[in-house]
Amino acid sequence: MKFLLPILVIHFLQLQPGFGQNPLLFRDALLFDGEDFHEDWDVLVVGDRIERVGRNLNAENTGQVIDLSGLTLMPGMIEGHSHLFLHPYNETSWNDQVLQESFAERTVRATNHARETLMAGFTTVRDLGTEGAGYLDVGLKRAIEKEITPGPRMLVAGPAIVATGSYGPKGFADHVEVPLGAEQADGKDLIRVVRDQIGKGVDLIKVYADYRWGPGGQAQPTFSPDELSLIVETAASSGRPVVAHASTIEGMHRAILAGVQTIEHGDAADEGIYDLMTQYHVAICPTLAAGDAIMQYRGWNKGVDPEPERIQAKKKSFTLALEKGVEICAGGDVGVFSHGDNVRELEMMVEYGMKPKDVLRAVTSVNARVFQLQDLGRITSGALADLIVVEGHPEADISNLRNVKLVMKGGKVYLDKLDVPDK
């Protein structure tokens, strides 16, 4: 018994020794290159990169050939909004996760979440805040890069930045100090906090442009326009983007004008906000699955009960975003629901009226472009070899993205369920 664990771990990390060695030729796939589909195309991988893409490619002398007839080959998917340090709120409330779970527990959980995310075909995540776990995301990212544990490439936000008094956990007596789910800062001090977060290893700055701190607990703007501009200006000087949590019109308005890269959630967005987003080249990450999950945690029996007002409103604003042609990222706020179930957001984008091919573009090439990941999200010569194979046609049924048969990240195979005789 005592040798069981090491054996399992070794088996898991090495997968099938021999397979996955370069060069490697994927043959006769239905290829989705991040933009469009091509039938019977080949992809040659050498080292960590895609060398060539097209029809009837020859394998290099020593190369292995994997026949993908009847299967779809596509870029590794990019999760636009994850929280690897959270797990579903119906298991443990957000407050209890922040206040009661040790950093050790949260890291062990996040390690599992990272593996589940990668195995679901998501080779990159934009992780938008550890929610009380400081810079553990920076550490997890480095551990994955060192191949200590399998996981996706990570863009990390560290603790995120909130206006003093706005964020939770809340409801304690004023003499009780509780750790918060994000870092408080205001005014000129924002310069120091942004720089401090950058120094500690964040790839981007996440701010809460509004939050539920109104007199009746409703969402209200937090930072002033000047404060938001200061945050963006300070981050931009280091080459880093700022992303804004915002659901109110005024919160979004301020964030867009300040120059954020994306608006997260954007629930109340109207025509004017979408026009402003287009004008300022800001994308929206609608996080449909999070709202859907939360309403179900609160007792909504989907498919049986009438649709709650919040869901109806979200559908309406998402439909308007489609009509207005706003740039839409794919990101579900996964962590609110289970890691590894990331496809749920893509299914909901289709359910709410987005064309399946546009959803596939969103989760690959659009996310890559918006997040400035130049070598990812496309299958093209010179790009990083982040590739997945799925069974079935994902445009015919987006849920086919759940049938992941192979995951490759940087030319290395992490999951292989292909039963190909000649490999």
**Shortest reach from residue 55's CB to Zn ion, in Å:** 42
**Shortest reach from residue 379's CB to Zn ion, in Å:** 29
Which one, 130 or 234, has the nearer CB to Zn ion?
130
**Shortest reach from residue 242's CB to Zn ion, in Å:** 15
Contact indicator for 406, 389 with CB cutoff of 8 Å: yes
**Shortest reach from residue 129's CB to Zn ion, in Å:** 6
Which one, 95 or 403, has the nearer CB to Zn ion?
95
Closest CA to 46 of 414, 387, 388: 387
Q: Which residue is nearest to Zn ion (CB)?
A: 333
229 burial (CB, 10 Å; 0-12 / 13-18 / 19+) is middle
**Shortest reach from residue 294's CB to Zn ion, in Å:** 11
Q: Taking the alpha carbons of 170, 175, 180, 186 in that order, is the dihedral positive or negative?
A: positive
Q: Contact residues for Zn ion (CB under 5 A)?
A: 333
Which one, 210 or 333, has the nearer CB to Zn ion?
333
Which one, 34 or 80, has the nearer CB to Zn ion?
80
Tokens matching residue 418: 């292909």
Which one, 23 or 181, has the nearer CB to Zn ion?
181
CA distances from 100 to 94, 103, 104 (A): 10, 10, 11
Residues sharing a CB contact under 8 Å with residue 187, sequence separation 6 or more, in sequence order? 227
For residue 345, give the H/E element and its range. helix 343-351
What is the length of the chain?
423
**Shortest reach from residue 212's CB to Zn ion, in Å:** 14
Cis peptide before 169 (omega within 30 of 0): yes
What is the rounded CA–CA span in Å between residue 110 and residue 321?
A: 33
Which one, 211 or 300, has the nearer CB to Zn ion?
211
